[in-house]
Amino acid sequence: MALVKFGAGVAQMSGSIEGTVYARNRFGSYARNRAIPVNPNTARQNTVRGLMADLTQQWTSVLTEAQRAAWANYAAAISVKNRLGEDVFLTALNHYIRSNVARIQAGLDRVDDGPATLTLPGEDTTISFTATASGNALSVSFDDSLDWLDETGGALLIRVGQPQGTGINFFAGPFRFADAVEGDDSTPPSTPASITAPWEISAGQKIFLEARIARADGRLSNPFRPDAAISS
């Protein structure tokens, strides 16, 4: 389904219509032929769908009215970025699922109580990384003064895109979860963090990374991306 922004005609568009995909990168809007995967129902996709179904059941059958009201209060105050880069508001259930799917994938505990702090976690503007073909190793440097490091249940969530040729300057995904750098209220993690990429890496390939900050109270930042790295 395409997401369309109208201006003088169509000002911006994201998504697909029949065989054409519309998107935008730093050079502007573009259209390309849609590639249909041979098997779109991958094991990872089915796992995420299962998590979403489980969380929806948890929301309707287990959470209390007070817990759902807290998520509704949070949702009313928080906007997130859509595919066009615009600020949009999600429902309380959307926020509950958005936060907890990411947490469960990272091995963190589910958070049922709605966040009392009505802001998204900020992004780490210093994040950078290097990639080494030997061992598919990533070394991720981050700001070790941020609050998530000092709280058990907080984390820096790292996802990695499939390696690309050096001529690729923009990568929209998909990204695959790699690892979480977990916070600790007694022994915070140190930078850089050593992470194994979920893909085979060869020397000279370009690697793209996407990160989010998860706070212990269930808040989840917008995704942010450091500059791509060339693997050695």
pLDDT band at 111 (very low <50, low <70, confident <90, very high): very high
pLDDT band at 27 (very low <50, low <70, confident <90, very high): very low
The number of domains in the chain is 3
Residues 147 and 210 in one domain: yes
Query: Which one, of 178, 179, 229, 225, lies nearest residue 203 by Cα?
Result: 229
How long, in residues, is the chain?
Answer: 232
Tokens of 6: 């109208």
Given this model, what pLDDT does residue 64 score? 97
Residues 84 and 151 in one domain: no
Residue 2: is its pLDDT beyond 60?
A: no
pLDDT band at 210 (very low <50, low <70, confident <90, very high): very high
Residue 163: is its pLDDT beyond 70?
A: yes
Residues 62 and 135 in one domain: no
Average pLDDT over residues 43-58: 88
Residues 169 and 91 in one domain: no
Residues 226 and 135 in one domain: yes
Q: Which of 45-49, 120-124, 129-133, 173-177 has the lowest mean pLDDT?
A: 45-49
Average pLDDT over residues 143-157: 98
Given this model, what pLDDT does residue 5 score? 57
Given this model, what pLDDT does residue 26 score? 45
Give backbone dihedrals phi and psi of 43, rounded to 5 degrees, phi first. Answer: -60, -40
Average pLDDT over residues 40-57: 84
116 occurs within a structural domain: no
114 occurs within a structural domain: no
SS (H, E, C) the chain: CCEEEEECEEEEEEEEECCEEEEEECCEEEEEECCCCCCCCCHHHHHHHHHHHHHHHHHHHCCCHHHHHHHHHHHHHCEEECCCCCEEECCHHHHHHHHHHHHHHCCCCCCCCCCCCCCCCCCCCCCEEEEECHHHEEEEECCCCCHHHHCECEEEEEEEECCECCCCCCCCCCEEEEEEEECCCCCCCCCCEEEECCCCCCCCCEECEEEEEECCCCCECCCECCCCEECC
15 occurs within a structural domain: yes
Measured CA to CA, the distance from residue 213 to residue 83 in angstroms comes to 19
83 occurs within a structural domain: yes
Residue 41: is its pLDDT beyond 80?
A: no
Residues 12 and 90 in one domain: no
pLDDT band at 86 (very low <50, low <70, confident <90, very high): confident
47 occurs within a structural domain: yes
Measured CA to CA, the distance from residue 199 to residue 211 in angstroms comes to 16
Residue 79: is its pLDDT beyond 50?
A: yes
Q: Which domain holds residue 66?
A: 43-105
38 occurs within a structural domain: no
Residues 190 and 208 in one domain: yes
Tokens of 107: 């091995």
Average pLDDT over residues 78-99: 88
Given this model, what pLDDT does residue 37 score? 55
110 occurs within a structural domain: no
Residue 167: is its pLDDT beyond 90?
A: yes
